[in-house]
Amino acid sequence: MSTKRDLVEAHAFSRRRLVTAFVSGAPGGREVEPVRQSRVVIGGLALGVLLVAGAALAAILGGGRSPSDWLDPGVVISKEEGSRYVVLTEGGDLHPVLNPVSAKLLIGDSEPKVVRQELINDQPLAAQIGIYGAPDGVPDPDFLRSTNWTACTTPEAASQLHIGDHPTATPTPGEAMVAVVRTGRSRETLYLVAPSAEAENGYFRYELGARSVAGPLLGDLGLVGAEFAVSTRWINLFPEAPALTRASFGLPSGSPRITYDVGAGARRLKVGDLARNPSSGQVYLLGPDEPLLLTEFSERVYGAVSDVGEPADVEGLSGATPDDLADWPATLPTPLQADEACALLESDAGEPARVLLASDPSEDESAEALDPGMENVSVEPSYGAYVNVGQFGDATGGSPVLIDMNATRYRLGGEAGLAAKMFGYADYDPPTVPDAWTEGFDCGPELSQEAARRAPDPRGMARCDG
């Protein structure tokens, strides 16, 4: 055991070491630098900022709104479960709502309030409301595309109708195609798809009849070989004009003599004969009441469907183009040379829609990947359309319809313009499009504020045409 003397000597030795260390400084001549106070201050400030930010984030994520706030009219979302509720009136009930679009129809574009589920559990719930089958969302107004829709077909009757941001299918002015529609196991009807004499009217479909009747006419028009097998739905995307038959010229049966004076040299001419003004070179069909001016196209058609000889020369002959044939082509079109034929819809608010013939579609627009005879519709993600659905030639009016990115159409019902307003479309002026262009889309339920206020009902699913 250490003696008292040993302890005293050890204490003295330890004291001498400490004194030597303080007097001699750090080894190698470097002094220990004191800690800068600024570092401590800056670190403290940074930690304080983080604590404040964390507290704010915790308040946002973890806190709920007081009953006096979140029970005001609006949309409520459960923080934990994501369930949706709506309060329709001041002091009103808390209704579970079936889907976001039903809530939008009832409340509009208000910011939803995220609330803790425990607060919701403390409130009595009213009956669930909403539209069965309504979509989860509607296109933003900036993503509505109500014009430049394309519908492309292969020669084997596969077709794709597409709504997207920027169509690439290019119009083919002056070109025409022959569409063959199978109407039975061994029956088919041929149509010519060609431009109207009035360019602003676009393209039309002209029935040619059975192949036995259409063959000689197509030969005279120089359109042999420009054939596409197409579906009935695709050919109906073009407005109908008078068929390329003798009946479209409005002539009576038989060949009565004309009862009007057309000038010298016309004594023996009959209704249905052709006559030419040698001064102008224009050819006329002698109608029952007056001479009818023929275009290059209508003259070629009449010559093919009637047993008539060369036109007789009659000086001073004049007349007007038949109104019924105003949408026939004026000149002979050239055959379409393309792997796919596309119908291109152009529509503007306040103007009748027109349809053009186009080619060279993009991959999204193309039907080449489809099996023969298959029909498909598609909408580019996030996009859609808001249109009035009417008939060919309508400039205004029609039933308001919304098409979403899932290629489903919904009729907007209820008070005129209210559903569109609740969706944020109040400043959007929808064009009128022909119903043939919307029939291929799946049919969803009617979207209206009245329907959104009711209990969900599966019987309201298919209401596009009701």
Residue 68's pLDDT is what? Answer: 56
User: How far, in Å, CA of 331 to CA of 397, rounded?
Assistant: 34
In one letter, which amino acid is 455?
A: A
Residue 45's pLDDT band (cuts 50, 70, 90): low
Whether the per-residue pLDDT at 3 is higher than 80: the answer is no
Q: Average pLDDT in the 103-118 region?
A: 92
Confirm if 432 and 353 have CB atoms less than 8 A apart.
Answer: yes
Residue recorded with tokens 């049919």: 443
pLDDT tops 80 at residue 406: yes
8: three-class secondary structure by DSSP? helix
pLDDT, residue 250, reads 92
170-171 vs 175-182, strand pairing mode: unpaired
- pLDDT tens, residue by residue, 181-227: 998 788 999 999 999 999 999 999 999 999 999 999 999 999 987 79
- What's 324's DSSP letter? G
The answer to whether 75 touches 114, Cβ cutoff 8 Å, is no
In this prediction, residue 262 has a pLDDT band, given cuts at 50, 70 and 90, of confident
Average pLDDT along the chain: 87
Q: What is the pLDDT of residues 413-444, one digit of tens each?
A: 999 999 999 999 999 999 999 999 999 999 99
Tokens representing residue 394 in the block = 């309508």
Residues 144, 428 contacting (CB under 8 angstroms): yes
Which residue, 354, 346, 350, is CA-closest to 431? 350
Tens of pLDDT, residue by residue over 223-260, are: 987 799 999 999 999 999 999 999 999 999 887 888 88
For residue 449, give both structure tokens.
């504020």
- 371-398 residue pLDDT tens: 999 999 999 999 999 999 999 999 999 9
The rounded distance, in Å, linking the Cα atoms of 423 and 146 is 16
In this prediction, residue 57 has a pLDDT band, given cuts at 50, 70 and 90, of very low
pLDDT at 49 over 70: no
Give pLDDT, residue 452. Answer: 97
SS (H, E, C) 405-445: CCCEEEEECCCCCHHHHHCCCCCCCCCEEEHHHCCCCEECC
pTM over 0.85: no
Distances (CA, A) of 262 to 111, 118, 292: 77, 94, 12
DSSP bridge partners of 358: 171, 342
Cβ atoms 370, 154 nearer than 8 A: yes
| Mean pLDDT within 74-88 | 93
Closest CA to 157 of 315, 373, 449: 373
Handedness of CA 293, 297, 301, 304 (dihedral sign): positive
Nearest to 248 by CA among 208, 216, 219: 208
Beta pairing, strands 227-230 & 283-286: unpaired
pLDDT reported for residue 44:
54
Distance of CA 454 to the CA centre of its chain: 29
Detail the DSSP E strand segments found in 210-265.
Answer: 227-230, 240-241
Q: Domain limits of the chain? A: 67-121, 149-240+333-460, 243-325
72 backbone dihedrals φ, ψ, rounded to 5°: -70, 160
